[in-house]
């Protein structure tokens, strides 16, 4: 029974405090030290499957390795710089090391003050995290490194399954940040993703998005004609840990997997009821619940029946299917997936079955990815995020354990998400004397008059509220905030607005 019932361009010269434009993201041949290096140290050789896309796995791993190595070089580099702070020509030596190891220069004012007292390593650390994020974003928006060969055909496939929109709400935990592009192998631009602590998405926000989609269908024929028999599909992804289920599951649910799954399903049902009660003429949506083992990246899918009901006690287990079909051919594996799905939910709707089969097949590549590059499971089964992202945007974050999400419009409405994030970073950074780096971001539509100015004001307001809420950390230099925006109507990268590391940072700099 294959189902689960378990619960380098040279930086330009600069004068004074004028921030330097970071060099492009380097692509070193080897893995850097830190979490990325430790994780890959447990690799056990190539693991594949008849349905595995090995070429995608190699390309995706190279990208993950290089991005995380760039962040993991920060601490070793700053240790080198710290050891030299009382040496002759310290400032010149520090800038040379930073350019060679990180690809950008350090703030000159911080280095210049080192002879008076100890070098301000907290400000330097935050600056380096923010500058590395800038380079990462530039690379993502300029080079499209995560482009999928399924980009063009996925929308048509989704509509053939009976859905016009795929809206996914994973937990804000950074171990799920790669859910769309890696775990499910979907083209990120074709999927709406919005993360919340415990995957407890905002029902009112989802109603607003549903309304926008339906209006676009009727007024503009997007994503298909208004009379097409397709529906809005809302997906919740909860998570759990197979290696340490009592401690490394979802923090928002006390690492209680059953509670996390039940809470996700309850939120899905509430959303559907809200749509049906608010709109007449048979308005409704389809629902799907997915569990993710953050240690192995294997999914288990709770498949809805013909009436849309979901049974928490039954799910199709991708890991069991991988192991059961690992020695067979592609056709046999495909048939096994279909059989397991229908054994789980005999009266599943054909379109839903077709989509779930594809998600499971895609996930088999990710299971092979983890086993090839990390062993039976990731080494960093717990949190290892590099920074917190707060606000709206961040579509470029498609990597596991890179950023903790806190989608919000105001700090007051997202205190639970922020408090969980600060608690995580209190262990990751503050306990070691390092600050919590927070990137506050609100994207805007340049074609809308005043949109950019409002985004800038929104960033400033949220940054001030965040620093006030965590005033103790702020006063001790243990919380730093970078404010950014991006024009969604253009192909460019992010624009930097302000940074607490250097109060004189102006838009476009850093």
Query: For 26, which DSSP code?
Result: P
471-479, long-range: CB < 8 A, 24+ apart: 473/422, 473/430, 473/435, 473/436, 477/120, 477/122, 477/123, 477/435, 478/122, 478/429, 478/430, 478/434, 478/435, 478/436, 479/435, 479/436, 479/438
The C-alpha angle 481, 484, 487, rounded to 5 degrees, equals 170
Domains, the chain, ranges and CATH?
Answer: 31-123 (1.20.120.1310), 134-144+383-499 (3.30.1330.140), 151-374 (no CATH)
Pairing verdict, β 285-293 and 231-240:
parallel
Other C-beta atoms closer than 10 Å to the C-beta of 414 total 22
| pLDDT digits (tens), the chain, 510 positions | 344 443 333 233 333 333 334 444 433 332 233 333 333 334 457 888 999 999 999 999 999 999 999 999 999 999 999 999 989 999 999 999 999 999 999 999 999 988 887 899 999 999 999 999 999 999 999 999 999 877 778 999 999 999 999 999 999 999 999 999 999 999 998 999 999 989 999 999 999 999 999 888 877 766 655 556 789 999 999 999 999 999 999 988 999 999 999 999 999 999 999 999 988 666 789 999 999 999 999 999 999 999 999 999 999 999 999 999 999 999 999 999 999 999 999 999 999 999 999 999 999 999 999 999 999 999 999 999 999 999 998 999 999 999 999 888 889 888 888 998 999 999 999 999 999 999 999 999 999 999 999 999 999 999 999 999 999 999 999 999 999 999 998 888 999 999 999 854 433 344
Phi, psi of 178, rounded to the nearest 5 degrees: -95, 15
**What amino acid positions are annotated as catalytic residues?**
173
CA-to-CA separations, 179 to 65, 312, 330, in angstroms, rounded = 17, 21, 24
């Amino acid at each position: 029974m294959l189902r689960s019932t378990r619960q380098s361009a040279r930086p330009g010269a600069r004068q004074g405090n004028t921030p330097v434009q970071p060099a492009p993201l380097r692509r070193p041949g080897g893995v850097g030290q830190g979490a990325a290096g430790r994780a890959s140290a447990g690799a056990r050789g190539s693991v594949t499957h008849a349905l595995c896309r090995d070429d995608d796995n190699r390309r995706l791993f190279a990208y993950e390795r290089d991005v995380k190595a760039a962040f993991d070089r920060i601490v070793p580099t700053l240790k080198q710089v710290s050891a030299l702070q009382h040496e002759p020509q310290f400032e010149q030596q520090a800038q040379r090391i930073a350019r060679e190891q990180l690809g950008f220069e350090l703030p000159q004012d911080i280095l210049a003050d080192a002879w008076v007292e100890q070098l301000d390593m907290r400000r330097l650390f935050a600056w380096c995290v923010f500058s590395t994020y800038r380079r990462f974003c530039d690379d993502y928006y300029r080079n499209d490194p995560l482009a999928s060969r399924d980009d063009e055909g996925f929308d048509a496939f989704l509509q053939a399954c009976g859905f016009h929109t795929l809206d996914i709400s994973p937990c804000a935990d950074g171990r799920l940040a790669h859910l769309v592009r890696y775990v499910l192998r979907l083209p990120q631009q074709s999927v709406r993703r919005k993360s919340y602590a415990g995957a407890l998405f905002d029902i009112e926000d989802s109603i607003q998005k549903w309304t926008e989609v339906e209006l676009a269908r009727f007024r503009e024929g997007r994503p298909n004609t208004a009379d097409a028999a397709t529906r809005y599909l809302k997906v919740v992804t909860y998570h759990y840990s197979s290696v340490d289920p009592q401690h490394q599951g979802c923090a928002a649910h006390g690492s209680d997997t059953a509670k996390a799954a039940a809470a996700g399903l309850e939120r899905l049902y509430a959303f559907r009821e809200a749509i049906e009660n608010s709109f007449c003429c048979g308005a409704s949506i389809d629902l799907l619940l997915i569990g993710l083992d953050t240690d192995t990246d294997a999914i288990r899918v709770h498949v809805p029946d013909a009436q849309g009901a979901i049974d928490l006690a039954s799910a199709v287990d991708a890991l069991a299917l991988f192991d059961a079909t690992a020695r067979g051919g592609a056709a046999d594996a495909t048939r096994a997936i279909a059989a397991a799905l229908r054994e789980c939910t005999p009266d599943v709707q054909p379109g839903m079955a077709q989509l779930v089969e594809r998600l499971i097949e895609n996930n088999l590549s990710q299971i092979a990815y983890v086993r090839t590059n990390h062993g039976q499971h990731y080494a960093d089964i717990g949190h290892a995020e590099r920074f917190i992202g707060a606000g709206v945007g961040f579509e470029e974050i498609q990597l596991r354990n890179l950023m903790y999400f806190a989608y919000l419009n105001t700090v007051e409405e997202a205190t639970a998400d922020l408090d969980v994030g600060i608690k995580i970073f209190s262990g990751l950074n503050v306990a070691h004397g390092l600050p919590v780096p927070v990137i506050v971001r609100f994207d805007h539509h340049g074609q809308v008059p005043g949109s950019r100015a409002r985004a800038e004001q929104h960033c400033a307001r949220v940054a001030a509220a965040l620093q006030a809420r965590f005033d103790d950390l702020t006063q001790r230099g243990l919380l730093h905030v970078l404010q950014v925006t991006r024009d969604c109507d253009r192909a460019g990268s992010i624009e930097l607005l302000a940074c607490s590391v250097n109060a004189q940072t102006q838009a476009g700099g850093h």
